[in-house]
């Protein structure tokens, strides 16, 4: 049966992730490369595992996390949908069943906040995993006077910790932000939509969602 390792070791997939990241850099976006893909894959799998989903669903979640941003190679606009179509071809090519191909492709195509929807547990876990990847190393321009607010909030993030607490039915994103670089409210302004989406995704998985920044509970 094909699995995560087959997709992870596929040089063609690796090349598309590389090009997606190059294109994101060319149009001024934060890092969307292998580091973001691997991290999203691991977190997506961890969420599903902690929430008690079966082994195969966890593996499919890891695959969805790994390839979720591959559509940026085509265009940032509608990258979730183009990524979903690419995922469809890639999974079919590796011999995944139509059922599994459909689950992963639809999760990928619903991860972007503009067209997001919790269409299945993998999609819900993917949204939380993707949106919680906030870190300084995603910023390409290391100039301390960062003009872009997205760069500033990522640059300001000293620590981001996602806690999945199934017994408490709670998923918590705990951030430590350097307020010399970015005010807590700057962060909140930019990420409010994403955090509301995380709340919906957590709710789909049967959990509440909390956002804590510098010990202040904001959501």
| Shortest reach from residue 83's CB to Fe ion, in Å | 7
| Shortest reach from residue 112's CB to Fe ion, in Å | 5
Per CB under 5 A, which region of 1-9, 48-56, 67-75, 148-156 contacts Fe ion? 67-75
130 is a contact residue toward Fe ion (CB under 5 A): yes
| Shortest reach from residue 136's CB to Fe ion, in Å | 17
Element (DSSP H or E) covering residue 26 = helix 11-26
100 is a contact residue toward Fe ion (CB under 5 A): no
CA-to-CA dists, residue 163 to 45, 146, 154, 200, angstroms: 13, 29, 19, 16
Complex with Fe ion: residue 40 or 57, whichever CB lies closer: 40
Site string for Fe ion, 155-184 (x = CB under 5 A): ------------------------------
45 is a contact residue toward Fe ion (CB under 5 A): no
Contact 101, 60 (CB under 8 A): no
| Shortest reach from residue 67's CB to Fe ion, in Å | 10
210 is a contact residue toward Fe ion (CB under 5 A): no
Size of residue set near Fe ion by CB under 5 A: 2
**Spatial CA neighbour of 34 closest among 22, 44, 47:** 22
Among 45, 59, 69, 100, binds Fe ion (CB under 5 A): 69
Q: How many CA atoms lie within 13 A of 96 on its CB side?
A: 26
Complex with Fe ion: residue 27 or 145, whichever CB lies closer: 27
Instruction: Write out the two tokens for 47.
Output: 């969420």
Residues 143-152 as b/e (b if ≥16 CB within 10 A, e otherwise) read eeebeeebbb
Distance between CA 74 and CA 138 in Å, rounded?
21
Contact 86, 15 (CB under 8 A): no
Residue ranges that bind Fe ion, judged by CB under 5 A: 69, 130
């Amino acid at each position: 049966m094909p699995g995560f390792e087959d997709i992870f070791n596929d040089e063609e997939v690796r090349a598309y992730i590389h090009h997606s990241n190059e294109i994101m850099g060319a149009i001024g976006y934060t890092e969307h490369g292998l580091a973001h893909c691997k991290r999203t894959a691991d977190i997506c799998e961890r969420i599903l595992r902690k929430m008690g989903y079966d082994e195969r669903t966890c593996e499919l979640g890891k695959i969805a996390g790994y390839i979720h941003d591959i559509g940026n190679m085509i265009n940032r606009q509608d990258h979730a949908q183009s990524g979903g179509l690419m995922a469809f071809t890639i999974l079919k090519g590796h011999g995944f069943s139509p059922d599994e191909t459909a689950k992963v492709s639809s999760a990928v195509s619903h991860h972007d906040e503009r067209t997001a929807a919790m269409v299945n547990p993998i999609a819900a876990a993917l949204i939380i995993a993707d949106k919680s990847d906030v870190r300084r190393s995603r910023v390409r321009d290391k100039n301390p006077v960062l003009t872009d607010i997205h760069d500033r909030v990522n640059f300001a993030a000293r620590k981001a910790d996602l806690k999945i607490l199934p017994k408490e039915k709670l998923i918590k994103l705990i951030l430590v932000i350097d307020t010399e670089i970015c005010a807590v409210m700057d962060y909140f302004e930019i990420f409010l939509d994403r955090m509301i989406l995380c709340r919906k995704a957590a709710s789909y998985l049967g959990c509440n969602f909390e956002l804590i920044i510098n010990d202040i509970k904001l959501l």
